[in-house]
A and B are shown apart, each in its own frame.
Chain A
Amino acid sequence: MGSSDWLALRTTLELAGVTTLVLVLLGTPLAWWMARTRSRAAVVLEAVVALPLVLPPTVLGFYLLLLLGPQGAIGGTLQSLGLYHLAFTFTGLVIASTLYSLPFMVNPLRDAFAAVGTRMTEAAATLRAGPWDRFVHVVLPLSRRGFLTAVTLTFAHTVGEFGVVLMVGGNIPGETRVLSIAIYDHAESMDYAAAHVLAGSLLAASFLLLLVLYAINRRHAVVRP
């Protein structure tokens, strides 16, 4: 692996790490709300959250590029404030990845929260636990499998994204050039050996990650041993 590949790996891990962190913070309250609400707006939200599952990544990337670019609502506003627009930046990539990986965080969490049920939180309420206390000491431990699944899938899915990155991020080494782009570059320039190293490593790493996840989830049921 050349130094540019190492840089791409670092960018990839940073992107996946930051995206996962952002999604834990955003996705947890969103999933909690979706699991508990009886509002009809929840249906619309569910459809929106699921969109990245069915859309070609280029569609998402295309609109984000327009939105974040110098002429877009967000990018344009930033520029008029004297800041730089977000197209072809690491921050833009994080925003794009957050949207793109949203269902991988929200859906497992929502299912986990729904499975905890209201009975457990009601029991906790009659045992003097306030709302935050209930969430931390009852809901979180009972949905930890959901969290593990959500975090792992989000991370892995972000590592594996390509289309969105290509549209929004481009190919700037150290900033937006991630592994999937590097593999594409190697293949384009007929450097199959280098492509193999990266592609094979990614395949092996992803497989191992999922293997560990499912093994843990199977061994550690929510209930005590």
Chain B
Amino acid sequence: MLTIKRYVRAQSLEEAYTLCQKRANVVLGGMLWLKTQNRTVDTAIDLSDLGLDAIEETPEAFRIGAMVTLRQLEQHDGLAALTQGAMAESVRPIVGVQFRNLATLGGSLYGRFGFSDLLTLFLVLDAKVELYHGGTVPLADYAARPYERDILTHIVVPRQPGRVAYRAQRNISTDFPVLTCAVAVRSDGVRCAIGARPMKARLYTGDPALLTGGITPESAAAFGESIAAEASFGGNLRAGADYRRAICPVLVRRALLACKEEE
């Protein structure tokens, strides 16, 4: 059961930052994961009044507020165009519309949850996170860090030419994923992230030489095998490590071929 002693709707980032320095205080995202925990929170810090719920577009990038919901990401035309629909595909199986109207991008990335579909996708988008005190940090570095007591304010996704595809395996629709895979194909190479291993998502290089002759069913399959050989997997209630290792090359191949088809 979640117990909250005090609720504060912060009126400035400085106020939120100061409050979150205390270990017993928690910054609220969508509150969905927090709600399932058995813990006592001294002060729940709500960022709802800080204007972090907008997606700003510039010629160079999308700057996404940490309180932007999964549903906003799903319905955003600019992000759909940037990712060829992969943004919506990554969040659509997450529980239901009501859940996605609450869950936030900031919550999903700050939590660095193993099951995070969005962490997987945003890694291949070369996203950076903006921290109130910590400055701008590449998401790949941020994801590898231990939790810190800073406020994640924005996520910046550069506009880059290229193709993006997202694939995930679930035992049943709307459940946590068994494995997630995002691929971006750009002029400077291929980026591939694997998540829900069940450990948190991370980027893998695989053997890029396998794709120098282009993306074909054979080269995509071979590249997928190289990713699966590099990645580490574990077991949980949803699947074992061997099963995840077996489906990893399949998801990578499908994502690569989807990028190829979209060209």
Tell me whether A and B are bound partners.
no
